[in-house]
Amino acid sequence: METITAEDYIKRIYSIERHSNFASTSSIAKALEVSDASANDMMKRLSEQGYVKYIPRKGVQLTKKGKIIALKIVRRHRLWEMFLVKFLGYSWDEIHNEAERLEHVTSESLEARIDKALNFPTVDPHGDPIPTANGELIETEYQLLNDCEKGSAGIISRVSDKSPEVLQYLKNIGLGLQTKLKIVDKISFDGSIIVKANKQIIPLSPKLAQCIFIQPVTA
């Protein structure tokens, strides 16, 4: 049985591994805001318990056992996020921290009931895919808004959930999942992107546009 802390480590290792193959001690430490020494300690513990393969001075990789836990936690996190939005009226910028705690106290039974109550959703309120009950995760590769061409159109299909401020700002300017938009201009000198959505012209900084993923449409 995993402790809450161990679950958090495993989850972070999973997300680091997705773009860097090995998760280094320091990257884990930084992500979890603990000292390198603490992260190193935990790597030994997780390795003993078979959740990670630990290669000293290199980093760790999740084992099959570790990956199952990671996906379970991610699934519960995203199901909770969806649930908080659909059943309790939360908005997408307020749910991350709540889900961060709830994910660790969710039984199989509760997970299944939430899933059913939501009619088996495939994505969370930020458009992130929800792993299935048997640990499959289907990632759709969307286009970064920055990479969309002038004149093209698309639908907002995923938004980075890294920063609540970004989510709150997008909410305020009326951009959400499924919002249809058209790239009316791209300012070359600063990278800004001007879009048209909800019949409004909205300028977006490159940093903001980097948080938005688009499903292209022809129209």
Partner DNA sequence: ATATAGATTTAGACTAACCTAAAAAATAAT
Partner DNA sequence: ATTATTTTTTAGGTTAGTCTAAATCTATAT
**Binding positions for its own copies, rule: CB under 8 A:** 84, 87-90, 94, 97-98, 101-102, 104-105, 107, 109-110, 113-114, 117
CB of 106 to DNA, least distance (A): 17
CB of 38 to DNA, least distance (A): 3
Contact indicator for 111, 104 with CB cutoff of 8 Å: no
**Complex with its own copies: residue 3 or 205, whichever CB lies closer:** 3
- List beta partners, residue 61: 53
3-state class of 54 per DSSP?
strand
Q: How many CA atoms lie within 13 A of 148 on its CB side?
A: 31
What whole-number distance in Å separates Cα of residue 104 and Cα of residue 145?
Answer: 34
154 sits near DNA (criterion: CB under 7 A): no
- List beta partners, residue 203: 194
- List beta partners, residue 185: 194
**Complex with DNA: residue 40 or 215, whichever CB lies closer:** 40
- Amino acid in the structure at residue 106: T
Report what 110 binds from its own copies, DNA, none; CB cut-off 5-8 Å by kind: its own copies
Report what 129 binds from DNA, its own copies, none; CB cut-off 5-8 Å by kind: none
Q: Which residue has the tokens 């019949």?
A: 199
35 sits near DNA (criterion: CB under 7 A): yes
Report what 94 binds from its own copies, DNA, none; CB cut-off 5-8 Å by kind: its own copies
What whole-number distance in Å separates Cα of residue 125 and Cα of residue 184?
Answer: 27
Report what 113 binds from its own copies, DNA, none; CB cut-off 5-8 Å by kind: its own copies
Report what 38 binds from its own copies, DNA, none; CB cut-off 5-8 Å by kind: DNA
What whole-number distance in Å separates Cα of residue 83 and Cα of residue 99?
Answer: 10
36 sits near DNA (criterion: CB under 7 A): yes
45 sits near DNA (criterion: CB under 7 A): yes
**Complex with DNA: residue 34 or 155, whichever CB lies closer:** 34
Show contacts with DNA in window 57-116 (CB under 7 A). 57-59
Q: Would the CA dihedral through 41, 44, 46, 48 be positive or negative? A: negative
3-state class of 208 per DSSP?
helix
Site residues for DNA per CB under 7 A: 3, 5-6, 24-27, 32-38, 40-45, 56-59
